[in-house]
Structure 1
Amino acid sequence: MKKNPWKTSLTAIVLGTMLVQGGMTAWAADTSTPVNAAPTVNYGLTADIRAAIKNVSVTPTATGSQLAVTVRLYNGGATQNRVPEHELRVQTTSGVSYTLKSSASNKESLQPKEIGELVYLSAIDSKEIGQIAQLSFVNVDVYSYPKVETTLLTMPTNSVWYGGTGSAALLNLGSLTWGQTFTLPGVNSGLTYTPVEASMQNTATGRVTVVTVLASNPGAGRETIPAFRVDAQSEQKNYEGKRAEAESISLEAGEKKYIHYAIPVENGVTLSNLLVLSTDSFVPKGGGQAAEVATGKLAITWPKAEQVNAGTVPYTIGKPISFDSLTNVVDKKTEVSLVELHLHENPGEGYQTAVAKFKLTNTSSTPTAMPTFQSDLVSSQGVTYQGARQANVTPMLNPGLSYVVSYSYIVPQSEEGTSFTLKLLDAAAAAPYTTTIAALQTDIQKEGTESTISMYPFDLVFNDVSVSTQTTAQLTYTYKFRLDLGITQKENVVVDNNFSKLRFEIVDSAGRVVGSKDATFTGVNKLISGKQTLDASNITTDQFSYPFTVNVYETIETQNGTAKRLVKVIKG
């Protein structure tokens, strides 16, 4: 019989470096070895084409099992080479052989020095597949009678993922602790990855775990992040994740970028692990929707509470905040500091209000866009209160000047903590989810002296506040506030009509609000140092009750409405 030209030795062939995506990358090898990953072995399929196993998986389905294989080919020749006609078969340790279907997108030929990946898939109506031992490329000559089958190449399957739930899904996977850097076993890429943040977030459609992974390129050339996803696992169930970035992401040599995975989970679930899965696309021949084929590669232990909060740093009010070096939310020339954090009860409202004020200073010589970040307040018990940003903010920061932006948080009356973590969040990088760009451990501020109120950049001294009434011809009463204030403003801090206001509420002896007046720090009728009168004639009542109590609030207009912070109570 004539020797088949495709049949080659089964001896492993060590390959040199090759040009991949603009950089010099070792074939099927990384600059750092993945944790618990065996080195990929390459075999000769033809005189010029080498083959290596990327993925092999056996995963349960509703009616049986799914077998999937991805093989990477490399044409080391100087001319275009055709991939030999073949069937892809997998053999179990018990000698059973399964023939897999070829994806319609598989390459039929390779250009010189080109890498191609062939994807194969079959659904088997059996849950008793057993252990996969090897796979083979088999050429079938259907024009001969009887038909002639020639094995072109057989490769042992040293790493097979047997999908499932619980501990079964972790078999044959490399095990990592949270925060440990890894590469993707079997994937032709030198990029490294580090899990840096995991958070539970509530959305309109349910609860979602958001995992942030830092991707780094330690190589000498540009490289694209290969397809993989991150799933979450409890003791009873797996939860499939999806990368938030839909577009392809490339990293230049030495560059780092964050990628994010959103994993819908059930309320109250306790997660135990994260699963890193390499993904391939299988396109059925003859038409049909492409299917994602996922193969487990690594298991990462779900972070403990102290690991989740590892990035939180002690903070002193007024000091510049250190942001994540990769964030684009805050310009490098914009200095941000927390200048106030107060927590107060609101009489009659049934909850407390926390108010945080940030000073943003443009240290450059040109105007800079106002940073847009979100904020959460987290108690020492891990309870998160979402912040509401003031509704109107100046869009630009002028050089050498500071601006104040306020956030309010609705806190239950049962919250008695005085120490909180203040998280500043990026709402754009993984929209509609958020990621942390700074986490500050700080205490609620205590108010100053009895007569002095801090409303950065103002310090207010209430020398005297009194209320007078006036009877109208219709026998109703109107109210006036007489104030004697001392106001001091810090320099180079801009205050415009977006700044918070003071609200004076008159409460009668029965606890009813019978009159109120808002006063501003800007405009024609702004508050000034000295004596002044505020007319509350817009509020009238046909009853008079004495004595009065005056509640003085700081009010901030937010996207969620008016937030009030009680700053002083003055007895009549």
Structure 2
Amino acid sequence: MKKRPWKSSLTAIMLGAMIVQGGTAVWAADAAPTAPVSAPTVNYGLTSDIRAAVKSVAVTPTASGSQLAVTVRLYNGGVTQNRVPEHELRVQTSSGVSYTLKPSGTNKESLQPKEIGELVYMTAVDTKEIGTIDQLSFVNVDVYSYPKVEKTLLAMPTNSVWYGAMGSAALQNLNNVTWGQSFVIPGVNSGITYTAVETSMQNTTAGRVAVVTVLASNPGAGRETVPAFRMDAQSETKNYEGKRAEVEPVTLEAGEQKYIHFAIPVENGVTLSNLVVLSTDTFVAKGAAEAATAATTVATGKLAIAWPKQQGSTTAVPYTIGQPIAFDALTKVVDKSTQVSLMELHLHENPGEGFKTAVAKFKLTNTSTSPIALPAFVSELVSTQGLTYQGARQANVTEMMNPGLSYVVSYSYIVPQSEEGTSFSLKLLDTVAAAPYTTTIAALQTDLQQEEAEDSTISLYPFDLKINDVAVNTQTTAQLTYTYKVRLDMDIKQKENVVVDNNFSKLRFEIVDSAGRVLGSKDAAFTGVNKLISGVQMIDASNITTDQFSYPFTVNVYETIETANGTAKRLLKVIK
């Protein structure tokens, strides 16, 4: 049977989107069954062994005209190395105008057997009236003939052209994806699927940034590297260019999932309407002395995603205090052998201060058989009105946790006096994955704990305190220095297998006279030589050189936590 040769110009063979994963050719539809159905990539015969497909075509406005860019993917289906035939790449408009594009200096001149190569072309023209691009062609030009002889090696229609910069008309040419829907990037040689899962607006020293978290999944049979692409954001009137937070290449093994993050600087008060997924290629001018300085990024819009209506996009799950927290399965912040539970969450007044203080206390347990690092996460308290209060972690913590033991870490939150909420969302954040930005690893919806009644036991995890009696005596020296001695009778019980060291919070006894003046204070620790114990004990308060005070005295009992932002206080009891 006689073999039928590849037909060249305007003759297509519908092969589907050919993808190389682990050295094996597979079909995009098989590789990503959960992704939206899209038109298959059409491959054309450039030579008897080399096939070509259009990856991207972009017409982008510039200050003085337009930039035309094309990326073509070639595949050598032969069994030997094949040279890419000499050619010019041209694009034609529907009105018959032709533009010749310059090749990138990094374009391959030959392909090894079964190799895929991408050729990038670009040119700038001083006109904004390009019109509609409907075809591109490989043209061989014999410059040694007179008159010169031109031969079209291959002509391919351009079914999808990106007319930047992000206007609504440009978006009409893109596939639209709903928030949370999986997608593959059309025209890109990859079977990786993506799902946008979270957005957050974050303030930095450089301004406001929209951070988008995307879940990348490899459903294929071999290792894949996430291809170059970015996400931009669009308002009704303006485009905001994004940048991937990960600097190093992101590689996924077969069946593996990872998060990638995009940071998009925006203006204060802006309302975003869309995210746009753009594939990116690099064009390097030929003959440039330094390729790095001559490199130009070519971006082509591929998909549009409606910006989510609910900011944050992470739903807080109902949580009961004391239960283990369910973290995101992909987080690297909390080891799988570390069990984390929220043990306390209080919001209380601060006498003499202009704000309230909330305190969250977490128990971290090492369930493994060897020491592991204590996880370092950030926390935020979010009210039902959407107000976010950043937590300050206690200043000193244990670095390593021994097996079978629990450790306590506290966070404090400064809250305005006007805050009257009783239910909050508590977000735990990762500061490493998308540094310097944060991403959510757990979101809990829980109620505040009620402060204990006057005669009840005070919970100060892992301690339960019951103050039976407090009395204040005054002693005066010849130098008119007044010393206050606090006689304290209390019961203390401690939970087992919970480590308490000198990093743990302390009790502060503050003596206030009837006029509201603080006469003296004393901090008492739960560890060390002079630690608090059950029974009667005497505590010397600070000296003060004044006789301007009036009886009776009141003792305010606080829990104090040293944080990076200073000392945080939680009012435990007022004793009169």
TM-score w.r.t. the length of structure 2 is 0.95
How far apart, in 2, do the equivalents of 1:100 and 1:146 lie? 22
Q: Matches of 2:133 and 2:69 in 1, distance apart?
A: 11
Match of 1:535 in 2: 540
Looking at structure 2, the residues matched to 346 and 374 of structure 1 have their Cα atoms a distance apart, in angstroms, of 24
SS in 2 for 1:430: coil
Q: Distance in 2 between matches of 1:339 and 1:533?
A: 30
SS of the equivalent of 2:294 reads: coil
1:354 aligns with 2:328: no
Gaps of 5+ in 2: none
Partner of 2:102: 101
- Please state how far the C-alpha of 1:166 moved relative to its aligned partner: 4.0
Deviating more after overlay: 121-130 vs 31-40: 31-40
Letter in 2 for 1:98: Y
CA distance in 2, matches of 1:309, 1:420: 16
Q: Is the 8 A contact 1:402 1:494 kept in 2?
A: yes
Partner residue of 1:421 out of 422, 425, 428? 425
Instruction: Give how far 1:6 is off.
Output: 11
Q: 1:491 to 1:318 in 2, by over 3 A?
A: same
What secondary structure sits across from 2:13 in the alignment?
Answer: coil
Q: 1:339 aligns with which of 323, 336, 343?
A: 343
2:309 is matched with 304
For the 8 Å contact 2:480–2:545, the answer to whether it is kept is: no
Match of 2:10 in 1: 10
Match in the other structure for 1:175: 176
- Root mean square deviation, CA, Å: 1.9
Residue type of the partner of 2:90?
R
- Match for 2:202: what amino acid? Q
Structure 1 residue 346, shift from structure 2 partner: 1.1
Structure 1 residues 75 and 434: alpha-carbon distance in aligned structure 2, compared to 1, 3 A threshold: same
Say whether the 8 Å CA contact 2:505–2:525 is kept in structure 1.
yes
Q: Is contact 1:30-1:189 (8 Å) kept?
A: no
Residues 243-285 of structure 1: CA distance to partner in whole angstroms, max 9, x if unpaired? Answer: 1111111111111111111111111111111111101011111
Q: What is the 5 A alignment of 1:406-555?
A: 406-451=410-455, 452-555=457-560
Partners of 1:473 and 1:99 lie apart in 2 by: 100
Q: How do 1:47-446 residues align onto structure 2 when only pairs under 5 Å count?
A: 47-287=48-288, 288-305=293-310, 308-446=312-450
**1:160 Cα deviation after fit:** 0.7
Give the drift of 1:536. 1.4
1:523-554 Cα distance to aligned partner (Å, 9 max, x none): 11111111111001444434332222222111
In 2, Cα distance between equivalents of 1:150 and 1:536: 97
In 2, Cα distance between equivalents of 1:218 and 1:22: 12
Contact kept? 2:16, 2:43, Cα under 8 Å: no
Which secondary structure does the structure 2 equivalent of 1:424 belong to? strand
Assess, with a 3 A threshold, how the Cα gap between structure 1 residues 90 and 27 changes in structure 2: closer, same or farther: farther
* Cα separation, partners in 2 of 1:260 and 1:17, compared to 1, 3 Å: closer
Residues 22-73 of structure 1: per-residue CA shift (max 9 Å, x gap): 2423367663375363211000111111000000111112222111110000
Which of 554, 559, 570 pairs up with 1:565? Answer: 570
- The gaps in structure 1 that reach 5 residues or longer are none
What's the offset of the Cα at 1:462? 1.4
Instruction: Please state how far the C-alpha of 1:17 moved relative to its aligned partner.
Output: 9.7
Deviation at 1:311, TM superposition (A): 3.4
User: SS where residue 26 of structure 1 aligns?
Assistant: strand
- 1:152–1:294: structure 2 CA closer, same or farther, 3 Å change rule? same
For 1:442-477, what per-residue CA distance to the aligned partner results, in whole angstroms no more than 9, with x for missing partners? 011102232322111111111112222111101232
Q: CA deviation at 1:11?
A: 2.0
Look up the SS of the partner of 1:531 in the other structure.
strand
The answer to whether the Cα contact below 8 Å between 2:392 and 2:411 also exists between their aligned partners in 1 is yes
Give the match for residue 22 of structure 2. 22
Q: Provide, for residues 364-389 of structure 1, a one-character-per-residue CA deviation record: whole Å limited to 9, x for no partner.
A: 12112111111111111111111111
1:338 counterpart letter in structure 2: L
SS at match of 1:272: strand
Seen in structure 2, the aligned counterparts of structure 1 residues 537 and 225 have a Cα distance that, compared at 3 Å, is: closer
| CA displacement at 1:478 relative to structure 2 | 1.6
Equivalent position amino acid for 1:24 in 2: T
Q: Deviations over 1:416-461 (max 9, x none)?
A: 1111110111111111111111100001110223232211111111
Q: Secondary structure at the match of 2:168?
A: helix
The whole-number CA distance in structure 2 between the counterparts of 1:528 and 1:158 is: 80
Q: Is the 8 A contact 2:16 2:40 kept in 1?
A: no
Checking the alignment, whether the CA contact within 8 Å between 1:23 and 1:223 is kept in structure 2 is no
SS at match of 2:433: strand
Q: Which stretch shows the higher mean deviation, 164-173 or 261-270?
A: 164-173
- What's the offset of the Cα at 1:106? 0.5
Q: Within 2, Cα distance between the matches of 1:369 and 1:143? A: 71
Scaled by the length of structure 1, what TM-score is found? 0.96
State the one-letter code of the partner of 1:25. A
The 2-side partners of 1:487 and 1:14 are apart by 78
Q: CA deviation at 1:169?
A: 3.3
Contact 1:27–1:188 (8 Å) recurs in 2: no
SS of the residue corresponding to residue 522 of structure 1 reads: coil
Q: Give the superposition deviation at 1:16.
A: 8.9
Render the CA deviation track for 1:324-350: whole Å, top value 9, x for unaligned.
111111111111100000011112221
SS in 2 for 1:404: strand
SS in 2 for 1:428: coil
CA–CA distance in 2 between the matches of 1:250 and 1:537?
60
Change (3 A) 1:309 1:223: closer
**What secondary structure is seen at the aligned counterpart in 1 of 2:276?**
strand
Aligned partner of residue 473 in structure 1, secondary structure: coil
Whole-Å Cα distance in 2 between the matches of residues 78 and 125 of structure 1? 44
What is the CA-CA distance between 1:286 and the residue it aligns to? 2.3
Q: Is the contact made by 1:23 and 1:220 (CA closer than 8 Å) also made in structure 2? A: no
Asked whether the equivalents of residues 503 and 516 of structure 1 are also in contact (C-alpha less than 8 Å), the reply is: yes
- Following superposition, the deviation at residue 8 of structure 1 comes to 2.9
Distance 1:444 1:29 in 2: 50
Deviation, structure 1 residue 20: 2.8
| Per-residue deviation, residues 290-322 of structure 1 (Å, max 9, x unmatched) | 1111100111111122x7444321000000001
Q: Does structure 2 conserve the Cα–Cα contact (< 8 Å) formed by 1:176 and 1:299?
A: yes
Q: Does the CA-based 8 Å contact 1:162-1:169 persist in structure 2?
A: yes
Overall identity of the aligned pairs, in %: 80
8 Å contact kept, 1:28–1:186: no
Q: 1:358 is aligned with what amino acid?
A: F
* Partners of 1:169 and 1:472 in 2: CA distance: 85
| SS class of match (2:169) | helix
In structure 2, distance between residues paired with 1:64 and 1:6: 39
Amino acid at match of 2:152: T
User: Contact 2:241 / 2:265 at 8 angstroms: preserved in 1?
Assistant: yes
SS in 2 for 1:433: coil
User: Does the Cα contact within 8 Å between 1:6 and 1:84 map onto a contact in 2?
Assistant: no
Distance 1:398 1:81 in 2: 61
